[in-house]
Homo-oligomer: A and B are copies of this chain.
């Protein structure tokens, strides 16, 4: 399953070079993840009081700067579910031409807020993530 959403680059997203600032892309990616989980109806399950989704690594390639007024298409996909972590791949492209702006693999764990530790991804957790992958 590959979720797609769009957003438009505004003046307040840019930095001194007239490019979207590198930190701002992470907000774009987070926005896309929330929309994905919202559409799947799992926001409460995956980021509620009991459980949090916590990022442990982000590896992001900046391919080409995004500029003001450009419409960006962001895809979000869970590409791997391991024992302790899972990978979400996200790509930001120009909506009009498909030209790649940035792509990233993020590694996440599920964190049990009561136990104060990350959980092994099996049972219902694995079922949930597998459902989001399928």
Contacts and interface: CB of A to CB of B under 8 A. Distances in A.
Interface residues of A, number: 35
Contacts of A62: 54-58
Contact of A11 (B13, B16, B59, B61): B16
A130 interface: no
Contact of A17 (B10, B17, B52, B57): B52
Interface of A: 8, 10-18, 21-24, 26-27, 30-31, 34, 38, 43, 47, 52, 54-62, 65, 68-69
A16 B68 contact: yes
B57 A30 contact: no
Given A59-B59, A60-B57, A11 B23 contact: no
Given A23-B26, A60-B58, A31 B47 contact: no
Contacts of A23: 12, 23-24, 26-27, 30
